[in-house]
Structure formats: structure tokens, C-alpha cells
Structure 1
Amino acid sequence: MPVKVITTELGHSIPPEGPHTITTHAPGWDTAIRFRSGDPALFAQMKSMYPRFVPFCETRQLSAAIGSKLGFPEGYACLPFLSPDIFRLATQFATNHHRDKDPKTKLTPQELLFRVADVAAVRLYVVAYPVHKTPGIIGLWQNLGTGISTRLSEHLLTQIDSLTAHLFSANGGTLEGLAVPEPTYLPEGPEHGGLKERVVGLLKREAIKEVGVGKGDVYLYGAGMAAIYGAHQAMAKVRKGPVVALGSIFPSTYHLFGESPSGFKHFGDVRKDSGVLEKLEGYIQGEKAEGREVGYVFVEFPSNPILVSVDLKGLRGLADKYGFPVVVDDTVGSFCNVDLLPAADVVVTSLTKSFSGYANVMAGSVTLNPSSPHYPLLTSTLATIYHNEVFTSDAATLLSNSNDYLARSTILNRNALALTKFIESYITRPESPVIAVLYPMTSDTLDNYRSFMRAPTAEFTLGYGCLFSIDFEDKECAKAFYDNLAVYCGPHLGANLTLALPFNELVFGRDPDDAKHHAAYGNRAEQIRVSVGLEEEEELIETFKVALGFAEAEKKRRNSTAH
């Protein structure tokens, strides 16, 4: 079978490209490095972008229009949000000691300008900042995930002439004591209720243990990171103490927790013989000896990008023993394959990924476990702090996309398993630079994963999700493979088409200390992350076979040069 040729130009989304697609095709290892360094020439070529990275398309146009109408100084840009909390958070973020790494981009409170404006009955809280200091503030948009969507932006742009500015005006140095206008947030419609019903139905489907979860236990957010931030906010209200994360977690989650006022502790290695639960218990006991408690423990199941599955049963035992909540991100395993409510007090999910499946909308969910001892307090807390920020059109798109979630997930499970088995056969070939395939099926923590798999049914073939990674001997071989892999290249997972990315080199490669820390538990720079799509199995195998041939040729070339 001939390998499919990718004709999509750099900077465009995977097909079918549309006004709200959330991927970008950035082929080549060197392109990933340029992306990491923020090369302006590269970003000028981008016609599509993951909207949580930076405001893009309609959101960028809306931001520019708002900035013009509000009359911000020349050289300023702005970010619109729906919550007034963003003013306080912006000041905290911009002046946090983590910004000290780059004094040129660290902002002073006085440089942040805060305004409030109404457009089409939607109240926006606008944070303006000097453009040349964007790296010092953009994490506010990236790590919280609470920025407005492209569909909402598109809607507001049609009525931008109705913009009314409030008399409120402040900067980060004068906010204290000022009365900020009350928010409007967004109305909920039948689409939101339909989404909650679908999530509940999937959580109950072939459940390991019935926990009585209902629509009222599901909270919708504008992005997966917004869901994590929402759960984090609720936990901070009910539990004082550091967040503890086990295993590999998404970089934005890592940064969010790393700047938590209550502290952050990370145990990266959760492999079978890591002794991570013993280390966790020792840490908990040490905190108690100092008169402190752990706030909560967070895990991804399995973890992105190394697909290790922590011992959730053992973690649940520790949680019951010491009284801390467990928050589990099930995005990679996905609703259809795993039931995590028996171990989790809270389940967070990026609905942007395989639940949506078509890479054209963003959302997330937080589900509270009614059987949890923390349920009453968490429920009452979210009743006071939760507000809908999911635009009706986004909810409708997500509801429509998820109609075929189970059918698509069967194919994703099948393709990923077939590819990982094929690539795993290369490990024993002397000429091959492949040293490992990272997937729940190949991990020494497979039993942990299988302990939470749902029962098989005739309508759905259970599996291990769409994501896996390939470890190579060195960067040169990883690069040779990636540069010749005829799939779409860029961030995202769970899309309709296969995506690949030198994930760790992209997100950790700028800081050698950061890279060393994450490589120690498996997030190696010599690794390529792959999210399979809905292509034919044989086509994918042939595509990867060709790219692996280039990696083998690079190893042969280097060996011959060395001798």
C-alpha cells in the first residue's frame, strides 16, 4: 500500500480545515524547535492554532477590536475573560517569582491595565499588557484555560459596535479595594444539559461499581485545563495544603500546580517497582509531623506522554487512611475504556480530545463522585464558585461530535494497538534504534490499567486509548524518523487523523534542568508522541514502516561513521 502524501501546508490545520479547527500542521523536528523558541517568522505562517496556546483567529481579531475601542496605549495587546477573578490572578501571575527567569519579560503591576466592557450582553474582563512582554503573561491564558472560545469571539465580533466600556479602570498596582462590576457569564441551554447527560451515561456504562452519579454532579468548562483549574479552585477552598501529583502530567497542569500558594510536590516515577506509594506515605507522614495536611493528590490515568498507570487501588487505600481527596484525569484512557470513579473523588476530563474527536471545539468536565466523603463539601463549594463559561454553540458542536464517540473509539483503540505491536517488533532488530514503545499494553503497570477497565460489550471493543510514544536511542534517529513520518505533525490528541510530535523536546527542551527532571522518570527528549486517528490500519503500518526505515538508515550511517 502506498504511503499517503501530506499536502496540507505548514501552519494550516488537519483536514477538514474550518474557522474553529484547533490543530496546526508544523512538520519537521526543526520546526518544533522554532515553535518552542517562539520564532515570529514561523508564527506568521500559522493560519490555525490550538486556541489555548494563544488567542487565535476570531479571538485574536476580537482582542484587537476591543483594544482599539478601549484605547489602550500603542504597543499594548489584551486578553478578554469572563470572570473578574482574572484581574487578581493576572497580578499574581505576572509578578510571581517564576517570572524571574527572564527579567526582560517580567511585568510590574503598574504595566497591567484592567478594563471592563459589555458586548452583546456579555461582560468581558480585559487584561492589557505590553506586547513585548507577552511571555510574562501568556501563561495566564495557557495554564488556566479560561479564555473565551473562537465561536464566542465570532459571535461578539458581529456586534462589536455595541461595545460599552464601564467606568471601571485600574491596573495591577491599584486594584485593591476597587469595586469590580459584577459578571454576567453565559447562559446554559438544552445543549449543556444534553452534554451532561451524555457524560453521565458514559460514566455509568458497564461501570465497575455503581456510584449514583447524576447530571448535577457534572460541571462543564471551556477547556480541559479550565476543568483542572476549576477542580483546583474548589479543592483550595475546602483543603489547605500542597497539591501532590503522581506520574507524568500535562505541562500546563504542572505549571498550574507549581505556582499554587499552598505548595506542590511531584513524584514522577510511578512504575511498578518505583515504590511511589511508600514515598507518598512518607511525605504525608512528614507533613503531619509538621502540623500540615496534603491538599489533594492528582494523577493522569494513564499518563501523557509515557502511558504509565499508577496503582490507583493502592492510592485509594492511602486516601482513605489519611483522608485526602484523589483527583484523576481520565482523558487519555477515556470514558469508554476505563471507569475511575471507584478510585477517584473527582474525575476531570478534556472533552476536547477523543470525546469530541473532530478537533474543532474545546471543553472540559469535572465530575464529583457522590460516594466520596468529600462530596458534600465539594458540592456546596462548587455551588458558590462555579459559573458557566461554555458558549451555546460550542456545547452544541461538542454534543453533535460525540454522537459517534464509541464507534470512533473502537477504531482508535484498534489502530493504536496494531501500531504499537508493529513498532514493538523493531526493538529486537539489531539495526533498529527503537528501544521502547510506551503504551498501557507494554507497560509494567498494565495490571493497574486493567483493574479499571470496563466490561466488554458487543457495541464497543475495549482498549487502551489513542496515545502512545516511541523511544529512540538518540535524537538523531528520533529526528530521522519524525522528519520522514507522513502524518500530521503538531499538538493535540484524539483527533480524526493521526498526529505526531517530539513532545518532550518541545515542552521541556528550552530548560536543561527542567528536561533532566522530567527525563528521569521517562519523558525523554529522544521520544516521539503519537495520537492515532481513524485511518486504515494497513495504511498506518506502512506509513510508520517507511519512517522507521529512515531511523534505521540514520543509525547505520552513524555507526559506519564511528568506525
Structure 2
Amino acid sequence: MTFPATFENDVEVGETIPPMTAHAVSVSLPTWRANVGYEEGEEWVISKMKTGYPRFFIHKAIERLANAIVEKYGHDGERAMLFPSHSIAQRCLDYFNTQAPPEDRQQARILDLVPSAAKERSEELEIISPRISAFIFPAVSFKIAKAFWQHSGDGISSRRAEHCHGLFEKGALVDASTIDGMRRLCKGPRRYQRQTSIDLDTPIDVRNDGNDTQDPNDFVEQRFGRNLDLSLTTNAKLAVRRRIAGSLTADVELPEALALSKDEENTRQVAGFSEDDVYLYPCGMSSIFNAHRNLMATKGPLQSIVFGFPYIDTLKIVQKFGPGSHFYGFGSSEELDDLEKRLEGGERFLALFTEFPSNPLLRSPDIERIRDLADKYDFYVVIDETIGNFMNVNVLPYADIVVSSLTKVFSGDSNVMGGSLVLNPRAKSYKQLKQTWNSDYVDNHWAEDSIFLERNSRDFVSRIERINANAEAICDVLRAHPRVKQTNYPKYSPTRQYYDKCRTVRGGYGGLLSATFYSKEEAITFFDNLDTVKGPSLGTNFTLSSPYVILAHYGELDWCASWGVEADLVRFSVGLEDTNKLVDTFRRALEAIERLA
């Protein structure tokens, strides 16, 4: 069906979402046909793509820097993947060497690019970290290198690429091996600077007269180009970590936020928990990848369990970067019964990874029973709270580790990536895991990204309440229509009892829901007539719709169906629009189905 030109949210295929946003994390795929065309690699879609979801689509700023590095340091027929540190590039090389043919492995190598002036290697420079490690390899093996880049989430951000490209063109970012007597740059601060090391009275807010739309090019030109103020960067990271810890819920400017005394009771409700147990990562998948990596380093390379139908890369990580996994795709009580029998029979596992609730079926696992099994049979529990978010659900008491994508509703503005990982200080595993993270963790969240993330997340609490209410209203509209076969939402899920057990006092049921229809034609008609922005990602401040299974699992639709996930499912991430307007929008799309008859 043709996309009507009269739609208020008509965004051209391939345009960034939000439009004309240089570092947008979504892209417009406004019709069902456009989504299929993207997956099929059709030229009319691919040629128009200004961006894409950052772990699946290499941002053009990153591609430009990678091409410039290969042009200067590489050879014909080579490409480069860019990472923020040598150790991450080495992991990519190690993975590449397990997958690529011998002749390609022989050519693969790492190039470290660092600031040229040795005198500038200061604490400030270490925190801002304007350096790049390029993994250079034969282009014919691009898919292998890209698989690591996508699954790990540890590639550089587009803002880091822009900044470092400017340094590279000026000759201020050079091959580390060419600097005489240069010490190997340390990995960066082992831990975040404490609040007392920063002058909190400095006027360091980045907003201009209350206007949230700041041009990143406004940063002052300093000795390394568009540099960033150390106190601004460090304080922004601290404020973000306090928000994730639940000890900062006020919507205030940055200096005032850090001067506030901590809330007497944080939303996590775990004794002894604070921002010192919160770790920032470049994106949510990076936090999952590094959780799995560090758990294996702590306990050994055992198989893991993935419980419930997960976001695609979570399963790929445990399958590809260790001894494998056991997959329970329904996340049911019967599957927990099976797991318990396996454990009673002597099988042992590293960890159980699960989402609360799951994406896209919005089912909630029985994490209380999972916690009991983990304590009895000694495996870790890693819970992804991205969909529920900690304002709605409190899952930390049942987890050893909680991970989340800050790219989503925590940010809301769809213009910055981020991830978090928190350790439960009351878990039996805490001491061991804390030691592992203290020795291994490096903060690779790019400074400018942290500044945007802090600014975006200030009104996180109030946005959640509005989004919850809007999502419930949309859910009611879908559930009432006879041509909607099934609406998936935690409030009406057969697993609601498990969700409610973790729901906070003021918590709702989140902003994500999905629906299926009685025919593919109905699903396509509904989607093409739905006047919302359409593209990948979720948690945006505006409603964002997607034929999620087509977009995320196009090459494995039969596999999805075997786990009860239909190919024609449509997913909705509900935003902050006027509730009545949203309801009318969905009703009009449903009326288009009625006209099919």
C-alpha cells in the first residue's frame, strides 16, 4: 500500500530519525515494503540510507575516518573497523582469527592512533581519550569483522569519529609506533573520579537559555580541536551514574544535581547500592557482551542459559563468544522445570541471561524462582531491564548483574548511544565480581556522548509516567478491535504476576507493546496507514513503530515462529504525544483494515 503523502509523520525513506540529526540512532523505513527492501538490499532503499541503527549500520562519519586510515596506512582491498582501545581491537582480531581463512588472518593487524604531542598526555587527555585503534583486514572478510563489531557493541561512536577525524586530518593523531620514547598509553582511569575531585560550583551546563538543541560544533577549539571540558565530562558521567543508581531523580541543571544530597531511599531498594556499582558502556549490547566476557573470566568458560525470546544479539553473544548456550525461548514455567531437572542431574552453567520483560512479546520471567535456582546451583543471573526500566520495575534484588540500553528511554532523544551495567552488592557473587570489574573495566563512553546523555536524561522520571499512560491507552484501543489477533503488553500478559511482583510503587507497564493480525495483508495495511514515525529502536520521546520481526529476524522467520513470534508482528514504542491524538492515530489505521472488506 502506498504511503499517504498527507501523513503528519511522513519521513522520507532513509532519512534520519529525528530528521536532519547528525547522530540519530534511528532511520525512516516508513512502509512495509521499505522494511523488506532494506532487508533484501534493494537499491531504492539502500541508496537513500543517511544512517541506520548504529550497531547494524556503520555511521558515515565512522566510515569516512576508517577509509582515511586505510588510505594512509593500509593497502588496496583492505578495510578497517575502529575501536576505542587496543584491547578491544585485539578481541576483534582474536575473533577474526577463529573465523577467517588463513591468508586473511596473516594480513590482519592493529594500528593504534594516539595524540602526537607527548607533552599533552595528561589526566584530562586520558579521560577524553581522543585515540583510535584500527583493526585492518582484507575487505573480502568484512562480514566476519562486522559480526564482532555488531555483537560486541564496542566500536567507536560517530561523535568520537568526527572528533578524531579532525585530529587525524591535522596530523595530531598518529601511529603510536612512530612516537619516540612514548610510553604505552594506559587504559584510562580504573574508576571514575569521585565528586570531591571536581569543582562543582563551576558553571558547566551545556544548555543555552533552556534550549535543548545545542550544536556540538559550538564546543571551544582547543589544542586538540573540538575538545571537552574535563569537569563537564566527569560530572556528566557522575550524574548519569547517580540517575541509574536511583539516587538522583530530580530534573535539574547539572551543577545543582551534583550538589543535591542523595535520596534517602533509592529506587533500587538494595542496601549498600550506590553509583560506585554502576558502570557505563558505549551501548547496551556492550554491557551484555562485557558481562558475559567478565563472567567467563571470573568463573571459567561454562555454557550459559538464555531464558525467554531475547533481543537478537544477546543470544548471538553467548553462542559465538564462549562454549555456547542452552536456549529456553518461551521463558515458561515448564522450561524452568526442565532447567531444574538438568541442574539436579549435575549440569552446571555460567549464567542465565534474561530480559524483563522480553522483546517483542513483553513476557516476564519468574525471576524469583530463577534467583532461588541460581543460589542453589551456583550460576549468575544477568537481567536486561531495558524494556521495563528501573522506574517501573525493580529487578536488582534478583540479579547479580543488571544491564540496560541507555540509548532507549533513559535518553529518549534518539541522538546518543549508551549502556549501563550494575552489580548487586547484596549478591553472594559480589566480592568476586567487584574484583573482576575493578581490574578490567575501562570507561570507553565517549566524553561528548556522556554530555548529551546527561542532558537528555534529566527529565527521565516524568517522561516515564507520561509514556506509561500513553501506552496503556493504545493497548486498550488495540485490544478492543476485532481484527487484532493478539496484543502483547505486560499488563495483559499471562506472565503479569511475575511483572507485578517487581513493579515499583509508582511504576507502570512501560512504553513498549506489539500486536498481531489475522492476515499479512491486514498487518501491512495497518502499518502503512499508521501515522507515526517508523524505524528501528525504541524508547524515543516520539512514538516509533516497526514490523519488528521482519527487521530484526528476516533471515530466520521460521525459527522465530517456532518460538511463537510471528513474522507479521508490529511493535510500537509509545512516546510523549497527546494521548487523545495518539488514540485517534491508531483508530484510523485500524479503520483502514476494515475497508479491506
The Cα of 1:464 is off from its aligned counterpart by 0.9
Does residue 109 in structure 1 map to residue 151 in structure 2? no
Does residue 281 in structure 1 map to residue 340 in structure 2? yes
Match 2:66 to one of 51, 55, 63? 63
The Cα of 1:370 is off from its aligned counterpart by 0.4
Partner of residue 76, structure 1: 78
CA deviations over 1:492-544 (Å, ceiling 9, x no partner): 11101111111112222223xxx333222222102011111111112111211
Please tell me the residue identity of whatever aligns with 1:26: L
CA distance in 1, matches of 2:444, 2:176: 21
Does residue 245 in structure 1 map to residue 306 in structure 2? yes
Distance 1:184 1:38, change over 3 A: farther
The Cα of 1:196 is off from its aligned counterpart by 1.3
Distance 1:208 1:368, change over 3 A: closer
Match 1:17 to one of 20, 24, 35? 20
The Cα of 1:419 is off from its aligned counterpart by 0.2
The Cα of 1:445 is off from its aligned counterpart by 0.4
The Cα of 1:137 is off from its aligned counterpart by 2.3
The answer to whether the 8 A contact 1:83-1:185 is kept is no
CA distance in 1, matches of 2:103, 2:527: 38
Partner of residue 265, structure 1: 326
Partner of residue 218, structure 1: 278
Does residue 516 in structure 1 map to residue 553 in structure 2? no
CA distance in 1, matches of 2:516, 2:342: 31
Partner of residue 381, structure 2: 326
Please tell me the residue identity of whatever aligns with 1:446: R
Partner of residue 465, structure 1: 510
CA distance in 1, matches of 2:477, 2:503: 24
The Cα of 1:214 is off from its aligned counterpart by 1.3
Q: TM-score with structure 1 length normalisation?
A: 0.86
Partner of residue 479, structure 2: 424
Mean CA deviation greater in 50-59 or 385-394: 50-59
CA deviations over 1:198-229 (Å, ceiling 9, x no partner): 21125986647432211211111010111111
Mean CA deviation greater in 439-448 or 72-81: 72-81
The Cα of 1:108 is off from its aligned counterpart by 3.7
Partner of residue 46, structure 1: 49
CA distance in 2, matches of 1:119, 1:53: 29
Which runs of structure 2 are paired with 1:136-535 in the superposition (5 Å)? 136-160=144-168, 161-167=171-177, 184-185=187-188, 189-201=234-246, 207=267, 209-240=269-300, 241-271=302-332, 274-286=333-345, 288=346, 293-426=348-481, 429=482, 432=483, 434-456=484-506, 462-511=507-556, 515-535=557-577
Distance 1:533 1:226, change over 3 A: same
CA distance in 2, matches of 1:535, 1:27: 19
CA distance in 2, matches of 1:196, 1:83: 22
CA distance in 1, matches of 2:581, 2:589: 13
Q: TM-score with structure 2 length normalisation?
A: 0.82
The Cα of 1:480 is off from its aligned counterpart by 1.7
- Unaligned 5+ segments in structure 2 are 1-5, 117-124, 190-229, 249-262
The Cα of 1:183 is off from its aligned counterpart by 5.3
Partner of residue 176, structure 1: none
- Unaligned 5+ segments in structure 1 are 169-179, 457-461, 557-563
Distance 1:237 1:534, change over 3 A: same
CA distance in 2, matches of 1:207, 1:167: 48
Partner of residue 174, structure 1: none
Distance 1:476 1:387, change over 3 A: same
CA deviations over 1:6-56 (Å, ceiling 9, x no partner): 232211123363222211111111211222233455233112322222321
The Cα of 1:440 is off from its aligned counterpart by 0.2
Mean CA deviation greater in 371-380 or 194-203: 194-203
The answer to whether the 8 A contact 1:4-1:543 is kept is no
The answer to whether the 8 A contact 2:131-2:164 is kept is no
- Kindly, what percent of the aligned residue pairs are identical? 32
Distance 1:397 1:54, change over 3 A: same
CA distance in 2, matches of 1:154, 1:502: 32
CA distance in 2, matches of 1:316, 1:107: 47
Distance 1:538 1:111, change over 3 A: farther
Distance 1:421 1:154, change over 3 A: same
The Cα of 1:117 is off from its aligned counterpart by 1.8
CA distance in 2, matches of 1:485, 1:337: 28
The answer to whether the 8 A contact 2:107-2:137 is kept is yes
The answer to whether the 8 A contact 1:107-1:133 is kept is no
CA deviations over 1:464-505 (Å, ceiling 9, x no partner): 111111012232221121122221111111101111111112
Please tell me the residue identity of whatever aligns with 1:55: I
Please tell me the residue identity of whatever aligns with 1:244: I
The Cα of 1:346 is off from its aligned counterpart by 0.8
